[in-house]
Structure 1
Amino acid sequence: MNGDTEKIGIIRLHEKWADFYTIVAQVLILSLFAGVCFLAEQTGVDAAERSGAFVLLGPIILGTVIWQAAGFGLARIHMIINGIDLERGSTHDERTRG
């Protein structure tokens, strides 16, 4: 049972990390996107060329996926280092005691 709470704690820790950096990445990407749109508006770029800038919304989704994957990947590495076996649901210490 202790292994389960430890797994959940590790996953929550790294999920919070991933969520924080997801927000940071989205703010940076949105500000870059807004800057490009603002410059296009000020320089008089027509709507057909400006619509291509909206394709840049794809990196927002990719940025979110990358940060979430990094967070859960680090959680898995953390569990491996601590000797937590996800398939058996036990820790290394529990297996050596019994």
Structure 2
Amino acid sequence: MEKLLEYLETLGEKIDLKDYDVEYSSGVLTLRCGPSGTYVINKQPPNKQIWLSSPISGPKRYDYDLKHQKWFYNRDNSTLDGLLNEELSVIFNTKIDI
């Protein structure tokens, strides 16, 4: 989460989007993307999951795969970083590579 936070803070300094804001508190990362909506990413330690709420694709629950060292959504086998790269690239009109 800290790595993601750092990436998004750096991204905010590079892009010109009104109402862009990122904050992290108590295991919850909130990314406000102006009129495109708000992402909420939070740790779920008891379940060993990360939960994502996306203004584009909706809610998802990710499980960590040790072999691939990535967070996967079991319903469609997509990754957390893949989804964020895809959606944020559209929102910011630039290639995002988290």
TM-score, with structure 1 as normaliser = 0.28
Structure richer in strand, relative to its length: 2
Q: Higher relative contact order at CA 8 Å, sep ≥6: structure 1 or structure 2? A: 1
Structure richer in helix, relative to its length: 1
